[in-house]
Amino acid sequence: MKVFRHTYSVLNDLASSIAFCRLGAAAVEFALLVPIIMFGLTGVADYGMGTFRRMELASAARSGSQYAIYNGTNTTAANITAIQDVVVASTNAGLTTADVAAVESYACDDGTSISDPSTDTCADSGSIQYYMTITITQTYTYLLWAGTKNFSITVKVRTS
C-alpha cells in the first residue's frame, strides 16, 4: 500500500506542477500574436508603398511642368511628346506615355478662356496667357487586399 501512496503522491505532485507551470506561457502567447502583428505591419507597409507611388507620380508631374515652363509656348506635337517623355523618364513607377496627357489651354488676363490664340483676341487689348495641364493616371494594385487605387495627378502651370 505504501508503494501506491508514494506513486500517487509523486504523480499528484507532478500533475500539479505541470498544471500551474508558467514556463513557456510567454512563448505560446508570442507565437499566437506574431501572425496578427505581421499581418498588421504588412498592411501598413502596403499602404506606405501606395502613398510613396502617389508621391512619385506627383514628382514626375512636376518635372513635366518644369520642362513645359522652360519651353514656353512651344506646343508642337514633338514638344508634347517630349513633355510626356520627361515625365516617364523622371520616375521608376512604370509609367508609359499613354499614362501621361499634356494639354495646352489659353486664357485672357481677366480669366476668360479662349480656344485659339492665333484667331481669338482678349477684351481691352489684354494679353493671352498660355497654360499647360499635365495629367498622370495610373492604377496601383495593393499586395494584401484585392483592391486597386486609381491615382490621378494633375499639374497646371502658366507657360507664358
Query: How do residues 101-136 score in pLDDT, each as one tens digit?
Result: 999 888 988 888 888 888 888 877 778 888 999 999
Q: What is residue 123's predicted lDDT score, i.e. its pLDDT?
A: 79
Residue 1 covered by a domain: no
Give the domain range for residue 58: 24-158
Res 29: pLDDT: 86
Number of domains in the chain: 1
Whole-model pTM: value is: 0.75
Is 7 a domain residue? no
Selection from 82, 139, 52, 68 nearest residue 152 by Cα: 139
Q: Greater confidence, 115 or 5?
A: 115
Give CA–CA dist 79/76, Å, rounded: 5
Residue 10 has a pLDDT of 67
Quickly state the pLDDT bin for 28 (edges 50, 70, 90): confident
